A = this chain, B = another copy of it.
């Protein structure tokens, strides 16, 4: 379970104590998610192939990945809190919509989605 309500409250206090709420506009939080996503991506910038997930087991890499993943998640939670969106509900809705968009029998294996 991710206790996003509790995390959102902590982030609210964090921003309030530093008077940072003024910076948390939709555009700035969307920017922050992109910036943190690129920092995660940078870890794999020069990978040439099908690196296994074992690669992420290296402690230094793992720690970097965890930090960036946490940053992205926290900004997503902060954005949803400010916008009053229910992350569990929208995640479920998105999965349902993906299931309709990509029927398993038509998109199996080396499929159009990944080949196009």
Q: Write the residues of chain A forming the contact surface with B, with a CB cutoff of 8 angstroms.
A: 1-5, 7, 10-11, 14, 17-20, 22-23, 25-28, 30-35, 37-53, 55-56, 62, 65-67, 69-74, 76-77, 79-80, 82-83, 85, 87-88, 90-95, 97-99, 102, 104, 107-109, 111, 113-114
A53 neighbours in B (Cβ, 8 Å): 25-26, 82-83
Q: Are B1 and A26 in contact (CB under 8 A)?
A: no
Q: What residues on B are CB-neighbors of A32 within 8 Å?
A: 45
Q: Is the CB of A26 within 8 A of B44?
A: yes
Q: Which B residues lie within 8 Å of A35 (CB)?
A: 38, 41-42, 45
In the complex, the 9 A-B pairs of residues with the closest C-beta atoms, listed nearest first: A38-B38, A70-B94, A27-B44, A2-B2, A17-B104, A46-B114, A37-B37, A49-B49, A34-B37
A42 → chain B closest CB, angstroms: 5
Residue of B nearest to A27 (CB): B44
Interface centre among A5, A67, A76 (most CB of B within 10 A): A76
